[in-house]
């Protein structure tokens, strides 16, 4: 078996998920790359040590911070499922990946545009760490192309996107937003954790850097923390250099877990997407629900963009309750039996979280999403059981 070569470029995504990163020199006679736990790499001679230092690439033994076959195989597999990517850098968490991307692009005095519906830790990084480093951030409405374009009247170094948007799941026009940034010499970055490259080929749609929290769909079992960023050659090298400057490295044990999860990510996403769409359609018909925030629904405002640009979905979406009582969301979540209450998503188990989207916006205002809201991550349970659980929890709103 030979895997991970250029000859695999013609293969479908599902086949790449199975084959990616499985080079014979990394796996030996077994299916998966072994877990290489090593800080020190040894050399046969001093001349060999000096020669190794000349090649800062995956596949070259040097020192544990640069990884070994376990990490290299995962990075290569992720690159192979990301159309137009030259390489992928691994980070110890999704937030570390966000920081690594932004620090690879920005320097003091630069200006960043950040979509107002971005993940809260991304927002916090812009208003915290980056601000302390002298980077100015302007939040913008990614659904207003004219207002967005006007922001380039003054220099912009980078644009941070997320689609669908965090908590409210708006779909923005990536093939329009990214070229506008490039036209003005700005770098476009996207948090593509919701869709993954299986659902949105972000680099092929014009973005320069795409990142994911591998803790979600790739890991798939709620037992690891990791992030990644993929890019074309120029920005991949900048990402790699910055990650090494910061001493970023992932555990080989976690890399093995992520690689194992990657092999089944496609079938899990398909099952969770089907279940999520069925549950979202059911929620639309419930009198206790004011709005379902799910771009996969034909009734969703951004559904046409989702159909045009995306090739898949996932199990994460939200809904707004028909109530003026902000505590109603917490009561519904507390009444659920089959949904865990917790952060993260994308695992095999379903989760529910009471949210307040408007607390995390400074530009966008969505009256439809102003009520008490709940975010659901649909796992691999039978959707009939999840619907029954939601029905009994929603029924308790009427007796509260």
- Vertex 238 angle, CA 232 and 240, to 5°: 95
Q: Is 65 a catalytic residue?
A: yes
From the list 37, 49, 50, 65, the catalytic residue is 65
What are the φ/ψ torsions at residue 121 (nearest 5 degrees)? -60, -30
The backbone region for 322, taken as left when phi is positive above 0, alpha when psi lies in -120 to 50, beta otherwise, is: beta
Tokens for 134, please give them: 């002298």
Q: Is 359 a catalytic residue?
A: no
From the list 16, 110, 119, 236, the catalytic residue is 119
| DSSP secondary structure of 291-356 | EEE-TTSTTSTTHHHHHHH-S---SEEEEEES-S-TTHHHHHHHH-SSSEE-S---SSS-EEEEE-
The CB density around residue 126, as the number of other CB atoms within 10 Å, is: 23
Q: Is 234 a catalytic residue?
A: no
The CB density around residue 35, as the number of other CB atoms within 10 Å, is: 17
Question: Within a 13 Å sphere around the CA of 60, how many CA atoms are in the beta-carbon half?
Answer: 11
Rounded to whole angstroms, how far apart are CA atoms 189 and 228?
13
From the list 191, 208, 254, 389, the catalytic residue is 191
Q: Is 237 a catalytic residue?
A: no
Task: Supply the residues annotated as catalytic.
Answer: 65, 119, 191, 216
């Amino acid at each position: 078996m030979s895997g991970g070569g250029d000859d695999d470029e013609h293969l479908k995504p599902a086949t790449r998920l199975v084959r990616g990163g499985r080079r014979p020199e990394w796996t030996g006679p077994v299916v998966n790359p072994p877990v290489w736990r090593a800080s020190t790499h040894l050399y046969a001679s001093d001349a060999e040590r000096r020669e190794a230092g000349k090649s800062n690439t995956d596949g070259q033994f040097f020192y544990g911070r640069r990884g070994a076959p376990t990490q290299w195989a995962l990075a290569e597999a992720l690159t192979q499922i990301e159309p137009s990517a030259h390489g992928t850098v691994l980070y110890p968490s999704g937030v570390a990946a966000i920081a690594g991307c932004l620090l690879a692009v920005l320097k003091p005095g630069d200006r960043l545009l950040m979509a107002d519906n971005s993940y809260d830790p991304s927002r916090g990084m812009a208003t915290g760490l980056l601000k302390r480093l002298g980077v100015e951030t302007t939040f913008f409405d990614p659904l207003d192309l004219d207002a967005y374009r006007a922001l380039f009247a003054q220099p912009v170094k980078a644009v941070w996107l997320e689609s669908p948007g965090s908590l409210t799941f708006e779909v923005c026009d990536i093939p329009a937003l990214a070229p506008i940034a490039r036209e003005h010499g700005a770098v476009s970055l996207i948090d593509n954790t919701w869709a993954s490259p299986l659902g949105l080929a972000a680099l092929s749609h014009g973005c320069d850097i795409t990142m994911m929290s591998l803790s979600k769909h790739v890991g798939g079992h709620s037992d690891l923390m990791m992030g990644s960023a993929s890019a074309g050659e120029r920005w991949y090298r900048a990402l790699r250099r910055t990650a090494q400057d910061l001493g970023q490295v992932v555990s080989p044990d976690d890399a093995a877990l992520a690689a194992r999860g990657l092999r089944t990510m496609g079938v899990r996403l398909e099952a969770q997407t089907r279940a999520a769409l069925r549950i979202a359609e059911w929620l639309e018909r419930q009198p206790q629900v004011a709005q379902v925030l799910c771009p996969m629904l034909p009734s969703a405002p951004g559904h046409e963009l989702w159909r045009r640009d995306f090739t898949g979905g996932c199990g994460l979406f939200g809904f707004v309750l028909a109530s003026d009582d902000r505590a109603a969301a917490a009561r519904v979540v507390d009444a659920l039996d089959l949904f865990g209450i917790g952060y993260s998503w994308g695992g095999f188990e379903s989760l529910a979280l009471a949210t307040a989207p408007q607390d995390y916006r400074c530009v966008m205002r969505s009256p439809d999403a102003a009520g008490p809201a709940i975010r659901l991550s649909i796992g691999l349970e039978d959707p009939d059981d999840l619907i029954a659980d939601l029905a009994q929890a929603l029924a308790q709103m009427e007796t509260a």
